[in-house]
Amino acid sequence: MISAGDFRNGLTVEIDGNVCQIVEFQHVKPGKGAAFVRTKYKNVITGSVVEKSFRPTEKFPPAHIERKNYQYLYNDGDLYNFMDEETYDQLALAPDVIGDSLKFVRENDVVTMVSWNGNIFAVEPPMFVELEVTECEPGEKGNTATGATKPCTVETGAVVYVPLFVNLGDKLKIDTRTGEYLSRV
């Protein structure tokens, strides 16, 4: 059991039967009355953020979140299919679990499945991917003073804003967390 006095940023605990990750915490000792811990935590399954105060002696069970690598196989229209890299078991997930996390993931790329008590609630793509540009308008010199960008479509169908010098067929390094262009490869 973890007491509220031991909260740290990033700690994952069960609060009221929900898996929550501590986003912010602050130990408060008012002039009058007992000390308390002011906390902001995020429900990792629904994504909602809640602010709540706890007594430092309140205890919560730790939430054990499991991360496991799976290979993304294909999308058959209704379900996204994955394969466990260790046991070769296949798994199919609905689009509501996936969200837009596969926006920069190609077939046969490796992703991380995040689960709690055997229930998968998130799919994490690799932090950086290298994708080829499939559609891109030519950039014109002299159009701008600095920092101009243009939209380009990469091989997964996602649109990324890139500098004017990027051309059709170039390979790009993209940050999947922000969807930003990093460099040409």
pLDDT of residue 143: 59
Do 12 and 39 fall into the same domain? yes
Q: How far apart are CA 110 and CA 120, in angstroms?
A: 16
Do 86 and 106 fall into the same domain? yes
Q: In which domain, by residue range, is 22 found? A: 2-60
Q: Is 111 left (phi over 0), alpha (psi -120 to 50) or beta?
A: beta
- Final residue before a domain boundary, out of 28, 60, 92: 60
pLDDT one-digit tens code per residue, 93-118: 988 888 788 899 999 999 999 888 88
Q: How far apart are CA 89 and CA 43, in angstroms?
A: 29
> Given a cut of 70, is residue 138 above it in pLDDT?
yes
pLDDT one-digit tens code per residue, 152-164: 999 999 999 998 8
Number of domains in the chain: 3
Q: Half-sphere exposure of 32 toward its Cβ, with a 13 Å CA cutoff?
A: 0
Do 48 and 73 fall into the same domain? no
Do 118 and 133 fall into the same domain? no
Do 9 and 53 fall into the same domain? yes
pLDDT of residue 142: 62
pLDDT one-digit tens code per residue, 32-87: 889 999 999 988 878 789 999 999 999 999 988 888 999 999 998 889 999 998 99
Do 49 and 87 fall into the same domain? no
Q: How far apart are CA 50 and CA 37, in angstroms?
A: 14
Do 111 and 136 fall into the same domain? no
- The CATH number given to whatever domain includes residue 169 is 2.40.50.140
The two three-digit tokens of residue 127, written as one number: 């932090």
